[in-house]
Amino acid sequence: MILIYKFFKESFLFAINALRTNMLRTILTLSGVTIGIFSIISVFTLIDFLEKQVRDSIESLGNNVVYVQKWPWTAPEGESEYPWWRYANRQVPTITDYEEIKRRSQIAEAVTYVMYSQKMLQYEDNTYNNVTVMGVADEFDAIWSFEIADGRYFSPSESNGAMSVAVLGADVAAELFQGADPVGQRVKMMGRKLLVVGVFQRQGQDMFGNSLDKNIIIPVKFASTLFNLRSQAVNPMVLVKAKPGYTSDDLVDELTGVMRAIRRIKPSGDNDFALNRISLIQKNFDSLFDFIDLAGWFIGGFSILVGGFGIANIMFVSVRERTRIIGIQKALGAKRRFVLLQFLIESTVLSLLGGLAGLLLIFGIAVTISLVTDTEMALTIVNVMKGIGISTLIGVVSGYVPAWKASRMDPVEAINAM
């Protein structure tokens, strides 16, 4: 054990000595490894960050939620062009569709109806333009993830009774009430007064641009007195959440049959509705992540290649400078594998120093971004291990030929070398 320790210590000291002897050359050489590791691991870190944002966004919307709508989100499978003309004459989901889905579905845990519009909101002399108005039915709170910061969510009786109540987004409440308590006050929209019963906790936008901060939520039955729910202009949809133990695929299969029965579509007829899922968008993100990952490997690969050649050059110089030492070691009984491992450890240490510099640079940038912005970006243990692993591999590959050459030297010729 002591011999092994001394062996690794000696190899490490040789590597440090190579750094000190030709500091500028070594730093310029190792910068290739540093830039390469920085490029690759920074891409991995960025992908991890984006994937976390996507996962959080999916969780907030429900990864087992199906959106019954007029328009599909993506082109049909196997087609590259979006055939909008096929969907233009479809009818939008109606309140009747919502009620029938709720009555017929066996695996739906929650079903709600949602519509959107843009209107101006007023409180006394304060106004807020382009507020997103959401008319929602029962069980919206069971599907969409949110928290109430002040007040409460409206009750089923208020929802079913078409009461003029509302829950405000954080930005809307702050702009209209300027620090005053909105709960119990009345805001004006489209000539109607609405009682504010609650305020949503501030969310910020997710990866899909969804947020309740700039929204006002009202019961959909009350919304039907203000808007035409059969118009595409209000983008009506039915949201259906599957029971635990059922996947979105199970729910899509059931909803396909239910909607075809509701719409009385013949067996040979095409669907006149779309069943959208977040997973469809996630597939597109997965493709994007794969492309970014490949680009990172491509860009970083060139830097690592340059750094690898640089390390190999340093090791050839090190072998030449220590030819007599190698000869003496072999004359004293050192075996080939001892000399080989000695130089491999040295090249690996050099490569690791460059890789650690790249990881330290990524860590500093990630911490800075986290401190300056509200986003949390971190260099994970997995990515650190990847960086160390890649650096080690570069060191072994780059140093193998010089190490092999050193291990094959004839001791007599090495000792007599000038």
> Does the residue 303 lie in any domain?
yes
Of the three residues 243, 272, 301, the one that is the final residue of a domain is 272
Q: Is residue 70 part of a domain?
A: no
Q: Answer whether 185's CB lies under 8 Å from 126's CB.
A: no
User: Which H or E element spans position 288?
Assistant: helix 278-321
Confidence of residue 237 (pLDDT cuts 50, 70, 90): very high
Out of 138-147, 200-209, 355-364, pick the least confident. 200-209
- Could you list the beta-strand ranges (E) of 251-377: 274-277
**Judgement on whether residues 180 and 259 belong to the same structural domain of the protein:** yes
Q: Which of 223, 241, 272 is the last residue of a domain?
A: 272
Q: Same domain for 166 and 237?
A: yes
Pair 36, 178 in one domain:
no
Classify residue 135 as exposed, middle or buried by CB count within 10 Å of its CB (0-12, 13-18, 19+). Answer: buried
Contact 60, 335 (CB under 8 A): no
Same domain, 399 and 345: yes
- Are residue 152 and residue 118 in the same domain, yes or no? yes
Confirm whether 151 is domain-assigned.
yes
In a domain, 84, yes or no: no
Give the residue-averaged pLDDT of 330-353. Answer: 76
* Phi (first) and psi of residue 347, to 5 degrees: -65, -35
Distance from C-alpha of 70 to C-alpha of 346, rounded to nearest angstrom: 65
165: in domain: yes
Do 169 and 223 fall into the same domain?
Answer: yes
298-320 pLDDT tens trace:
766 776 777 777 777 777 777 77
Q: Is the pLDDT of residue 381 over 80?
A: yes
More confident: 297 or 365: 365
Cβ atoms 213, 131 nearer than 8 A: no
For residues 293 and 239, membership in a common domain is answered with no
Residue 204 lies in a domain: yes
Q: 251 and 323: one domain?
A: no
C-beta separation of 109 from 242 below 8 A = yes
29 or 226, higher pLDDT: 226
- Checking if the pLDDT of 359 tops 60, the result is yes
Q: 143 and 184 in one domain?
A: yes
Residue whose token pair is 């029965």: 261
Residue 62 falls within a domain, yes or no?
A: no
pLDDT in tens, 176-199: 988 888 999 999 999 899 999 999
Give the Cα separation of 288 and 282 in Å (integer).
10
In this predicted structure, the answer to whether residue 238 has a pLDDT above a threshold of 60 is: yes
Radius of gyration of the chain (CA): 33
pTM: 0.64
Domain end call among 272, 294, 319: 272
Rounded-to-integer distance, Cα 163 and Cα 117, Å: 19
Q: How many domains does the chain have?
A: 2
**Cα separation of 69 and 280, whole Å?**
14
Residues 39 and 97 in one domain: no
What is the identity of the amino acid at 138? D
Note whether 287 and 159 are same-domain residues.
no
229 & 327 share domain: no
Nearest residue to 200 via CA among 175, 221, 217, 181: 217
Domain that holds residue 101: 91-272
Distance CA 124, CA 101 (A): 41
By mean pLDDT, which of 56-65, 148-157, 191-200 is the weakest?
56-65
7 found inside a domain: yes
